[in-house]
Amino acid sequence: MAIRKYKPTSAGRRNASVNLHVEVTRTTPEKSLLRPLPKKGGRNHHGKITVRGRGGGAKRRYRMIDFTRRDRDGIQGEVVSIEYDPNRTCHIALVQYADGVKRYILAPVGLKVGATIVCSSDSSIEPAVGNVMPLRLIPTGLNVHCIELRRGSGGQMCRSAGAYAKLTNREGKYATLVLPSGEVRRVPIDCRATIGQVGNTDHQLRRLGKAGISRHLGRRPITRGVAMSHDAHPLGGGDGRSKGNRPPVGPSGVLSKGGPTRNRRQHSSDLIIRRRTSKRYGQLR
């Protein structure tokens, strides 16, 4: 079992559970694929806090992930190890190609050490787990992840632990995908995707159990808006606890629950068949 619960020897341990990462086969990362990752504490280049609740946490180094794999067309690669990545929820796989090049990729469910993967636009390649192929060559009904939105842009959708999209059908120059959020959208058939489901599916079952674990992850406490003064937050001030008859918002007045976060007019919006929520999302009365 990948999730373990220990005896409640303390208040923090009582409600906590631990992910054992049983799929991981190597604990030291590949040095040539590491980059420094400085912390910004949620501050922009002016030093102003633009993202609240960030700061502290354990020191990390970034693992260079190959989301495109287009320069590896037709070159077979062997999975050397499955590793833990502190910068994402899923595990990563170290792949060594026939020409000696090493790359990190997202590790799907069922990918084992010693397995052979390939990235190709050749229809003769079998759609096995870990292979990257254009959507026009992937059989309908299969689960895919790390999907491109535009040809050559690299995998952008379904990259977190346990995520996958189902390829339902193809019509004309578009393929239809059902995303984990329930959204149904069309994607050009020349866009590439990886076969399978993203690994570390038990990630969502883990419970932190105490505030200290959140601090290790770089998450700081956030004061409630209703507990602030009226000049520090739109929901602050007043005698007693009062929200002023308005929906939950952030310090700048932006809706914090259910509000729109994307531009009203984007080209990709034309390709959405069914949204994950109603078209009137965010309109709180």
What integer pLDDT is reported at residue 125 of this predicted model? 84
Q: What are the pLDDT digits (tens) for 156-191?
A: 999 999 999 999 999 999 999 999 999 999 999 999
Average pLDDT over residues 210-236: 93
Q: Which residues pair with 157 in a beta bridge?
A: 147
Q: What are the pLDDT digits (tens) for 61-116?
A: 999 999 999 999 999 999 999 999 999 999 999 999 999 999 999 999 999 999 99
CA 197 – CA 162 distance, rounded (Å)? 6
CB-based contacts of 23, cutoff 8 Å, min separation 6? 2, 82, 91, 107, 199, 200
What integer pLDDT is reported at residue 266 of this predicted model? 63
Average pLDDT over residues 246-261: 83
H and E: helices and strands count for the chain: 2, 15
CA 207 – CA 218 distance, rounded (Å)? 16
What integer pLDDT is reported at residue 280 of this predicted model? 52
Prediction pTM value: 0.89
Pick the closest to residue 195 from 165, 162, 171 (CA basis): 165
CA 251 – CA 42 distance, rounded (Å)? 15
What integer pLDDT is reported at residue 89 of this predicted model? 97
